[in-house]
Amino acid sequence: MSQSDSQPRKPATGRASTARRAGSTIATKSSSRASTASRKLPAELLTPDEVRALIRACSATAPTGVRNRALLVVLYRGGLRVGEALALYPKDVDAARGTIRVLHGKGDRDRLAVIDDGALAVVARWVDVRRTLGISSRRRLFCTLAGGPLQASYVRQLLPRLAGRAGIDKRVHAHGLRHAHAVELVEDGVPVHHIRDQLGHASLAVTDRYLRRIAPGARIEALRVRRWEL
C-alpha cells in the first residue's frame, strides 16, 4: 500500500482552503437571502371601513363579483380560513341557525362558525345567482361560473387587485379578513373561549397568543398611560 493510501489526508491549506471557505460563505448568504425573500410579510390589520370598501370593490351585479362579495363576507364575518371557505358546499350554510359547518378545519377539526344575518344575505344573493346559472348544489359553494372548484391562488391574486381598486394602501391577504374578524370580537367583548371556538383553535392558549399578536391594543393603551419626562 502506498503512503498516500495508508496516511490520513491533510487538511487543505492556502488558496484552495480559502476559496472553499469563501464559496461556503457565499452559499450560506445566498440561502439566507432566498429564505428571507420567500417569507411572507404579515397582513396589515384592516379597519371595518376598509373591509367594506374591499367588498364593495367587487361588482354587485356581475356573477363573479356577486360570488367574490359572498366569499369575502364569509372570510370576514365568519372568520374562516380561505381553504375552509373554498371547501364549503351550499348545505354547510344553515341560514335559519346562522351557522356555517366547517368539516375539515386546521388539524382536521370540525366546528360551527356563527355568521350574522347581514352576511347571510350577501351569501344568499350568490346562491340565487348560481342557481340561475344552473350550477348544481352538489358543487362547491364558491366555484367558477362553470361549476368548477375555485383555487386559493385565485383569491391570493384577487385581494391585492381589490385593495388597489378600493384605495387601500396596506398588504391585504385573505387571512387578514380573519384577523379583522377576531379583533372586532375582542373589541365587542366576546369571551375568549367563544373566540377560540369561532376561529377553530385547539386551545385557549393558542387563541391568547393569536390575539396578542394581531390585537395588541390593550397592551399599547396600558403602557401609553405611563409618564416620563427628561
Residue 65, domain CATH: 1.10.443.10
Residue 41 belongs to a domain = no
Residue 127 belongs to a domain = yes
pLDDT string in tens for the chain (230-residue length) = 444 444 445 555 555 444 455 454 444 444 444 444 445 555 578 999 999 999 999 999 999 999 999 999 999 999 999 999 999 999 999 999 999 999 987 877 889 999 999 999 999 999 999 999 999 999 999 999 999 999 999 999 999 999 999 999 999 999 899 999 998 888 888 898 999 999 988 888 888 887 887 766 655 665 566 677 77
Q: How many CB atoms lie within 10 A of CB 145?
A: 13
114's grid cell: 356563527
- Contact status, residue 90 vs residue 141, Cβ threshold 8 Å: yes
Counting the structural domains of the chain, the total is 1
Residue 30 belongs to a domain = no
Residue 26 belongs to a domain = no
Q: Catalytic residue positions?
A: 81, 106, 175, 178, 201, 210
Residue 17 belongs to a domain = no
Q: Domain residues for 174?
A: 48-214
Residue 106 belongs to a domain = yes
Residue 76 belongs to a domain = yes
